[in-house]
Structure formats: C-alpha cells, structure tokens
Structure 1
Amino acid sequence: MKLKTALLASVLTSAAFAAQAQEVNVMSWGGSYAKSQVEAYHKPFTAEFGIKVNSIDADNPATPIKAQVEAGNVSVDVADVEFSDAVRLCDEGLLEPIDQSMLPAAPDGTPAADDFIEGALQDCAVANIVWSTVVSYNSKNVSGTPTTIADFFDTAKFPGKRGLRKSAKATLEMALMGDGVPAGEVYDMLDTDEGVDRAFAVLDRIKGDIVWWEAGAQPPQLLADGEVVMSTAYNGRIFNAAVAENQPLVVMWDGQILDFDLFVIPKGAPNLENAKKFIAFSTGTKPLADQASWISYGPARKSSGALVGLYSDGKTQMAPHMPTAAANLENALVNNFEFWVDKDAELNERFNAWLAN
C-alpha cells in the first residue's frame, strides 16, 4: 500500500509539474500594444499548442529582466524590448542566444534570415515590429496647425505645455531636428560635446513648459485631458486613441524616429523551450501581419506586408498609418542603435543632471 501510495504521489507530482511547465511568461509594455500581442500572438499560440501565455506589463521590460537575471531569480520567459536594450543586455551576457534557424520560413519558402528587415535579427533577439516616436497634438486644443518638428519647440507660435518622454533617447534627437539639424546629420552632431550642448539648449527653451511621461499610455491621456497641447508619443498609442477611442489626436510625422521592438529570452528563463516556441510562432508571417490589424506598427518581416489590411474595426486601411508608409518617411530618422548602446549611460547621466537643475 505504501509503495502504491508513493507511486501515485510520484505520478501526480510529475503530472502537476508537466501541467505547470505548459506555460510561458511574456513581458511587454501594456496598453493597446500588449492587447495587439494578446490578440495576434498569445491567443493563437495557446490555441495551436495548448500552452498558456501569462501576459505581464512593465513600463520598460528591459529594467526588470536585467534585475531578475542579476539576482538569479528569473520569472520571465520572453520580454519585448527596444533595440539598444536588446544589444546591451546580450553583450552583458544576460540573454539566451537565439538560433535563427528555429524561425519559420516565409510562405513562399524564403528563409527567415532573408525575409526579416535588415537589422531585425540579432544574436539574442528577434524583432517583431517597426514603430516610431512621433509628435502628436490635440486639434481641439492647439491654435493653428503644427506641421514640423520645429513647431513642437516653438511655444511662442504654438503656446501650451509639451509632453516629453523622461529619457535622453529620442528627446535629444528631436531637439536637434527641431533646431534645424537634418536627420542624416543628427547622430554625428550628437556624438560631439557641441552637439549635446546644442540639444540641451533647445530643451532649455521649453523646460518650464514640459510635462514628463514615462509610460506609453500617458501621452494620449495628457493630450485628451488638455494637460499638454503637443506631446511626443508612440505612434501606435496615438492611432489607438484617435481611431479606436475617437479622440481628436493628430500624428505629425515630420521628425519621427523609427525603431524596432524585439523579443528576447532572459538567461535562466524557467520555460526556455516554450519561450523559443512562442518566439518562433509569433514572428511568423501571419501573426506579424495580424498584429498590424490591431495597432499601427509595421511588421518586421517583408512577407507580412502584403497581408496587412484593415484595422479590427473592419473599415480603416492600416497602410497609411504605418510609420514605414512612404509619405511618412520624408523627414524620418532611423534610431542609431549602436550609438545608444555606447552612449546611453553617459547621456542619461547628463540628462538626469539637467533635470535636477
């Protein structure tokens, strides 16, 4: 009897462990972006593989996963992070390497390595979207029609508060573009002491009118509530507020900064194989195209483009709202990922000192 009881207990324990293992913990940015991932990735993944996806929100997933790995207490399996964070965390040995051969080919057989946009595949990361930081305004609360990035920094011409992300990245680039530096010269300029001084001088002009934000959900709310008349924001968040919530928010594409978001696996992820399976599935051609029907971020695979159609409302064409649409690229800056890997600590230290004064 004791032997039978012991065997039964062992079987039950193994079954419980197996059931527990059939999950994957995915950390992302919350809001309408996380919803797009739940609809396009999480639900279909669970339906196909029977693996539960636990969705976890963070203001910036790179911060908690770095802390978890360094503490040796990792609970996250997959995290959605910005490009410079993916490269930095990989260089620091905090991420699992990702074998590109595990990624599915395009429907026509094109290997994944040739189907992803240039730069989208890294040693420890696989991109899912192309997004951008843009300037948006509330058409009900601004006098006139802002058309250029310079207008954002001109509080005499367009009075009112400005929303800015509490971070050196994107803020300094936009300050230089707002001061007339061509997009193609921004990083060369920002790589000099004079260029950094010039960017902060531009910020000095509006410092008393800045409302700082840290989470992506904040700018649409600040604009809708009239707390600011213009704000930098993630383009997909503004799209969601304008189209899904019928807010009078307008995207000004001039001076937009293009970026990737990528999936990474923290070193020591508790469900490693499920994490790999989730990334391979979610970065397939159809799931990436499906996400674009929920939010205006461009898929990171070339083969997904032709499948992007209507928004989930069944009537709004998504293509014109993509940051990669030709009309939106006339004065766009592509984030220099290598620059920020090298300069992030130095420029944020300068930025935080400037904030404190």
Structure 2
Amino acid sequence: MSSKLKLIGLSSAVSVLALSAAAQDPVSLTIVSWGGAYTASQQRAYHEPFMEANPHVTIINDDGSANALASLRAQAQAGNVTWDLVDMLPSDAQLACDEGIILQIDHDAMLAAAPDGTPASEDFLPGSLGECFIPQIVYSTVLTYRPGAFPDDAQPSSIADLFDVENFPGRRALQDRPGTNLEWALYADGVDPEDIYEVLSTPEGVDRAFAKLDTIKDHIIFWTEGAQAPQLLADGEVAFATGYNGRMFDAIEVEGMDADIIWDGQVVEWDGWVVPADGPNEELVMEYLYFATDTQRLADQAKFISYGPARASSAGLVGEHADLGIDMAPHMPTAPENYFAPIVLDNDFWVDYGDELRERFANWMLQ
C-alpha cells in the first residue's frame, strides 16, 4: 500500500472516529409535561428506557404544560426556543400548529408501524392524530369525592350531585378553566352528552351553563395544577374535586387516599406530543418520538398510570400495575363499566370558542 493510500485510510478512520465521538457527545432534552404521577409514568415508560439505550442523552423534565401554548408563543417570538418536546392538549396543539410554532408530522414516515405492519396512521385510534399532534393517551376528567363527607346511605353517584348542595353539602374543587365545567353544568341541567356542544355553541347555551355554575359558586375552590385537586381532597378541605383520572387513581391506589371516582359524565380527551419549531435538538427528538410512541411503549405507560394507550395495537398489552400488581384494565376510562355516559371533548369547538369562553370564565371567577 502506498503512503498516500495509507494516509487516506488513516484520515478516513480518524474522520469516522470523530463523527462517532461527536454523535455521542452529551446532550440534554428538555421535555415539558404536566408533572406529578403523569410525568412519573412517562419517566418510567419512556424516558428511562430511552436514556438507557442512549447513555449520552439526559432528559430534563419541565412541568410547564399547563401554560405551554403561551410559553411556546413567547419563545418563538423571542427567537429562543429552549424546549425540545411538549406534552399538549389537542385544542392548544391545533392553535400552535395554525400559528406555525410547532412542526407538522408525517405520521407514517416519522412513527413506528404496529407489530403486524399496520401503519401508524391506521393504528392510532380514530380521530386522535392531528396535523402537528401525536397522541399518547386517552384520559378523562372525572369527579371524585370523599365518602366520609356524606352518610353511608347517601353517597353521591352523578355529576348532578356536584350541583346539589342541599343533599350533598361541602366545598367543591374545580379547575380554573371553562373546559369540563361548562360541559358538566349543561349535563347536570339535563342536556344529553351528545348535544352539549350544539347547545354550548349558542349564546343561550353559554348563559345556561353559567347560570348552573352560579348555583354552586359560593361552594367552589379553584385549582390550577393537577396535583392540587387530590391534595384538597386528601386534606379534607373539599367534599368533591374534579381531576384527571390518572392522578386520582394514583392518589387512591398508590397513596391510599380515601376517595371514590364517579365515572358518570367523564370528559374524555386525548393528550400527546408536539415538537416546537426551531427547537435545539430536532433530529434527536424525532428518534425519541419514534421510540416513545411505538406499540410497546404506549402499553408500558399503562403499567404506571390509569390512562389508556392511544394505539389500538397497545390495548391487548395492558396488564398489571408495575408496583401494585393490580389489573389496570378496569381502571381505564374506556373500560366498558366506566364508559357508560362519556362526554367526548370536542377540540374543534374549543379552538373556535375557547378564547371567548376562557375570558368570560376568568371574569366569572372574579365576580
């Protein structure tokens, strides 16, 4: 071999080693979610396995999802996007997508197929995928109560009971946003779940919902962060609390809180990922998404929290809780015994009317 060829070979080897070293340079991904039991389930089902397979990657959790849309807008406006991946609700994701501050997703090109080869676009549950949105879970907002707050022979069982302060006295903890509260107000006032958004899209329907909420206004404590709702129940400060079914499951089954879930009128919704435009680690984020949204990983999350996986191929893999050893299927919002009167959240409605209703609700809280 000539010295020239040897030099070329040596140079090539050095280049390969340099590229390999560069690929393994330490990197941090900032992943934004909701905190509490939900982030913990993501940590165990997605983050830790991904970091184990990629030792140079460190995932940093940021509990900023409650205000993610406003924060992403501010980062984009400042030209300084620091978040890599964000857990976001579909209605906010659609707004962010329309504004161009998150990336569009080619689902079949960017996401894993099901084990039997079914493309991602056909494996994720119908209606769950968005132009810029990748669902992880089916979850619901539920009403939970303290049995000890009421006589043994007069326990609440419906959303109507939330609005019945005469027979079910006590404080009520509601989230400080119109979503779920307006739907439940109309449901408790006799509107069929399938007709709620038709009624709520009219001025008269909105007035009707707020009038129903007025009947319990003096009994409400408002919460902002998801962890506050079960804590208010556990501390005995309220008799009822609205909250995410997974957090309530964790508080009851893991923490031992004495409370029961009312599945009547559960407000069912998707939750999932969006990728900020101009994020610092886009290529690595796409690798993470391919891994974290495959069939097995979505089923794995159900080992740690009672949210249903967003892929059809994951459903049959849902088994026991990793720590408690209890069957998780009956605790899913989509379990037949729980899914008897669901209100399926209409994200298009909240995209169209959300700003107006959020403003009115904020004013109503201050009255």
Same structural fold, with TM-score higher than 0.5 when normalized by the shorter chain = yes
The equivalent of 1:125 in structure 2 is 133
Name the SS of the counterpart of 2:102 in structure 1.
coil
C-alpha change, 1:125 and 1:20, in structure 2 (3 Å) is: farther
**Alignment check: 8 A CA contact 1:62 1:79 kept:** no
Matched, 1:26 2:31: yes
The equivalent of 1:355 in structure 2 is 365
The equivalent of 2:294 in structure 1 is 284
Deviation sequence 1:131-172 (CA, Å, 0-9, x none):
000000111223321111100111111000001000011110
1:202-241 equivalence runs, <5 A: 202-241=212-251
C-alpha change, 1:344 and 1:16, in structure 2 (3 Å) is: farther
Name the SS of the counterpart of 2:303 in structure 1.
coil
C-alpha change, 1:234 and 1:347, in structure 2 (3 Å) is: same
Matched, 1:97 2:104: yes
- Structure 2 distance, partners of 1:135, 1:16, is 52
Gaps of 5+ in 2: 1-17
The equivalent of 2:147 in structure 1 is 139
Q: Which amino acid aligns with 2:63?
A: D
The equivalent of 1:294 in structure 2 is 304
Name the SS of the counterpart of 1:293 in structure 2.
coil
Name the SS of the counterpart of 2:164 in structure 1.
coil
State the Cα distance separating 1:65 from its structure 2 match.
Answer: 2.1
Higher mean displacement: 311-320 or 58-67: 58-67
Note the aligned Cα RMSD (angstroms).
1.7
Higher mean displacement: 308-317 or 160-169: 308-317
The equivalent of 1:37 in structure 2 is 42
State the Cα distance separating 1:349 from its structure 2 match.
Answer: 1.1
Deviation sequence 1:264-303 (CA, Å, 0-9, x none):
0111110001111111111100110010010000000001
**Alignment check: 8 A CA contact 1:59 1:214 kept:** no
The equivalent of 1:58 in structure 2 is 64
State the Cα distance separating 1:23 from its structure 2 match.
Answer: 2.9
- Alignment partner of 1:82 out of 73, 77, 89: 89
Name the SS of the counterpart of 1:39 in structure 2.
helix
Deviation sequence 1:85-136 (CA, Å, 0-9, x none):
1111101111011221111111111111111001222111100000000000
C-alpha change, 1:188 and 1:251, in structure 2 (3 Å) is: same
- Structure 2 distance, partners of 1:281, 1:15, is 21
State the Cα distance separating 1:15 from its structure 2 match.
Answer: 9.6
- Alignment partner of 2:209 out of 199, 208, 225: 199
State the Cα distance separating 1:220 from its structure 2 match.
Answer: 0.4
- Alignment partner of 1:113 out of 113, 121, 139: 121
The equivalent of 2:3 in structure 1 is none
**Alignment check: 8 A CA contact 2:32 2:65 kept:** no
Gaps of 5+ in 1: 1-12
The equivalent of 2:178 in structure 1 is 168
1:150-165 equivalence runs, <5 A: 150-165=160-175
The equivalent of 2:14 in structure 1 is none
- Structure 2 distance, partners of 1:21, 1:65, is 25
Q: Which amino acid aligns with 1:33?
A: Y
State the Cα distance separating 1:314 from its structure 2 match.
Answer: 4.3
Q: Which amino acid aligns with 1:88?
A: L
The equivalent of 2:13 in structure 1 is none
Matched, 1:249 2:252: no
Matched, 1:46 2:46: no
Name the SS of the counterpart of 1:164 in structure 2.
strand
State the Cα distance separating 1:16 from its structure 2 match.
Answer: 9.4
Name the SS of the counterpart of 1:109 in structure 2.
coil
- Provide the TM-score with structure 1 as the length reference: 0.93
C-alpha change, 1:126 and 1:145, in structure 2 (3 Å) is: same
Q: Which amino acid aligns with 1:145?
A: Q
Name the SS of the counterpart of 1:268 in structure 2.
coil
**Alignment check: 8 A CA contact 1:59 1:216 kept:** no
- Provide the TM-score with structure 2 as the length reference: 0.91
**Alignment check: 8 A CA contact 1:23 1:274 kept:** no
Name the SS of the counterpart of 2:148 in structure 1.
coil
- Structure 2 distance, partners of 1:43, 1:66, is 29
Name the SS of the counterpart of 2:95 in structure 1.
helix
State the Cα distance separating 1:238 from its structure 2 match.
Answer: 0.3
- Identity in percent: 46
- Structure 2 distance, partners of 1:163, 1:171, is 11
- Structure 2 distance, partners of 1:121, 1:59, is 19
Name the SS of the counterpart of 1:255 in structure 2.
strand
- Structure 2 distance, partners of 1:22, 1:339, is 40
**Alignment check: 8 A CA contact 1:136 1:252 kept:** yes
The equivalent of 2:79 in structure 1 is 72
**Alignment check: 8 A CA contact 1:86 1:262 kept:** no
C-alpha change, 1:351 and 1:47, in structure 2 (3 Å) is: same
Name the SS of the counterpart of 2:216 in structure 1.
helix
Count of residues in correspondence between the two structures: 345
- Structure 2 distance, partners of 1:142, 1:198, is 29
